[in-house]
Chain A
Amino acid sequence: GASALSIAGGLQASETLEPNTFEQITTYNNFYEFGTGKDDPSKNAHNLQTEPWSIEVDGLVENPLTISFDEIASEFETEERIYRFRCVEAWSMVIPWNGFELADLLDRVTPLPEAKYVQFETAVQPENMIGVKRGVLDFPYREGLRLDEARHPLTLLATGIYGEPMPNQNGAPIRIVVPWKYGFKSIKSIVRITFTEEEPFTTWVDLNSREYGFYSNVNPTVDHPRWSQSTERLIGGGLFNARQDTLMFNGYEEEVASLYEGMDLTKQF
């Protein structure tokens, strides 16, 4: 239908994007479970225990399920999606993800009619995660999407980058990718997906709701209180790298703007 067409258009447009190198993607990360420095995750995430791994899908569903990563890997066929990735800190990358649409997994359960949102939760392994030991945030890290956002064909469950299994620092073994939202919405190393009626608890909104909204759609016209969001720096351009303009919905406006019709995006940011 119309949405499939627009996705094809989006993918076509994305083919002109030049992906960042594997090294850039895997050495410049925010993953506070492993420290707050950009190079901390690549140094510390080798401790993450990824086997065995399973995801619980629960909450307002008729048939909650627990699915192991091995089952996921054998049952869902992955494809490559080259997406822009825009961090709330005003830097960006282009990343060739391998994954499948989150909707494919969500279709395995039957949500109750009152389910309106999904919440995601990152694994907590205090003995393996230096940031958890230090109490950098109120762990487990949690994020959420409205159900229609979660079911949108652009929203991925990603299991790899450049055809390699997902590196630990990028959210092994499986993570969410929501390309039109700031990077922190694309929650890593997920162990739980919970259907809820109310807007769920999300880590950054809880920490500072003035600075981080539930939606956190990339929006050059709504600044972060501490810095401008109108421009960004694409990683990889060196010391004299020029800033580039940030695109509405990170360049996916055509595909996702309809999700937010009638909303005041300066208030519901």
Chain B
Amino acid sequence: MAVADRINQGARKMPIWPLYLLALAYAGYQFWLGLSGVWVEPINTLERQYGEAALTMLIVSLTITPIREYLRINLIKFRRALGLIAFFFVVAHFLVWALLDVQSASRVWADIVKRPYVTVGMVGFVLLIPLAATSANRIIRKIGPILWRRIHSLVYPAVLLACLHYLWLARGFQIEPIAYLVITIGLLVLRLKPVKRRVAA
């Protein structure tokens, strides 16, 4: 596994902060595109771009464990950054939806209560809050690894709800939300085996 070793060596030397910078730059660039007038419907487009970025980053964060298990490539040091970036885009997606799209607190609430696709998206968002809140080293030390792992397994229902949220939004048969769901389920299935192995050991 020379390739894996080389990647692992490279990853060890790589700093984490450029990931945050890239995410901020992407979010800022999308916002600037929204302002610039290149999109005919900037509110919906920006909402969608942030939402897709959030789901993509959630899924990317879920690839870290299987590629370590199956390919022996260890990128675990980036996982927290990927998760926090995903959460950042979830918040951005929510804010664009609430402030720029729906534009009123009463309508936001009405949508959360009345519209199932909004409800599941919102539940997914809420499930991710404790993960983001327990990502600092200080807090991980305080709560201990067992509780931390339990809290962070909330990412599995959250990502499935995010996929459902996307799927539910579509009119007609659309490829993209189905592709996200299939990839997510694939990644979750890949984890079943290593988890069992760990439990047995």
Cross-chain contact A236 with B40 (CB below 8 angstroms): yes
Tell me, yes or no, whether A215 is within 8 Å of chain B by CB.
no
Tell me, yes or no, whether B110 is within 8 Å of chain A by CB.
yes
Cross-chain contact B103 with A242 (CB below 8 angstroms): yes
Tell me, yes or no, whether B69 is within 8 Å of chain A by CB.
no
Complex contacts, B172 vs chain A, CB 8 Å: 32, 36, 136-137, 207
Complex contacts, A239 vs chain B, CB 8 Å: 34-35, 42-43, 46, 100
Contact pick for A136, options B34, B117, B174, CB 8 Å: B174
Contact pick for A240, options B40, B44, B100, B174, CB 8 Å: B100
Tell me, yes or no, whether B133 is within 8 Å of chain A by CB.
no
Complex contacts, A226 vs chain B, CB 8 Å: 115-117, 168-169
Tell me, yes or no, whether B175 is within 8 Å of chain A by CB.
yes
Tell me, yes or no, whether A233 is within 8 Å of chain B by CB.
yes
Give A187 to B162 CA distance when docked, in angstroms. 33
Interface flags, B32-62, vs A, CB<8A=1, else 0: 0011010011111010000000000000000
Cross-chain contact B41 with A91 (CB below 8 angstroms): yes
Q: Which residues of A in the span 205-258 have a Cβ within 8 Å of any Cβ on B?
A: 207, 225-228, 231, 233, 235-236, 238-243
Tell me, yes or no, whether B170 is within 8 Å of chain A by CB.
yes
Cross-chain contact A238 with B35 (CB below 8 angstroms): yes
Q: Which residues of A in the span 70-121 have a Cβ within 8 Å of any Cβ on B?
A: 89, 91
**Residues of B in contact, count (CB < 8 Å):** 25
Which residue, B35, B103, B111, B116, has most C-beta atoms of chain A within 10 A? Answer: B103
Cross-chain contact B103 with A243 (CB below 8 angstroms): yes
Contact pick for B40, options A28, A36, A137, CB 8 Å: A28
Complex contacts, B103 vs chain A, CB 8 Å: 242-243
Tell me, yes or no, whether A46 is within 8 Å of chain B by CB.
no
Tell me, yes or no, whether B173 is within 8 Å of chain A by CB.
yes
Tell me, yes or no, whether B107 is within 8 Å of chain A by CB.
yes
Tell me, yes or no, whether A27 is within 8 Å of chain B by CB.
yes
Complex contacts, A135 vs chain B, CB 8 Å: 173
Closest to B104 in A: A243
Contact pick for A134, options B40, B41, B175, CB 8 Å: B175
A122 to chain B, nearest CB (A): 14
Closest to A39 in B: B40
Give A235 to B35 CA distance when docked, in angstroms. 14
Cross-chain contact B170 with A228 (CB below 8 angstroms): no
A124 to chain B, nearest CB (A): 15
Interface flags, A130-174, vs B, CB<8A=1, else 0: 000011110000000000000000000000000000000000000
Tell me, yes or no, whether A38 is within 8 Å of chain B by CB.
yes
Q: List 15 additional A-B contacts (Cβ < 8 Å) besides A91-B44, A235-B40.
A: A23-B40, A36-B171, A36-B172, A36-B174, A134-B173, A135-B173, A136-B173, A137-B172, A137-B173, A226-B115, A226-B168, A228-B110, A231-B107, A235-B41, A238-B37
Listed from nearest, the 4 A-B pairs whose CB atoms lie closest are: A28-B40, A239-B42, A239-B34, A36-B174
- List, sorted by A's number, 27 A–B pairs whose CB atoms are closer than 8 Å: A23-B40, A27-B40, A28-B40, A28-B41, A32-B172, A36-B174, A38-B40, A89-B171, A91-B41, A135-B173, A136-B172, A136-B173, A137-B172, A137-B173, A207-B172, A225-B115, A226-B116, A226-B168, A226-B169, A227-B111, A228-B107, A235-B41, A238-B42, A239-B43, A239-B46, A241-B43, A243-B103
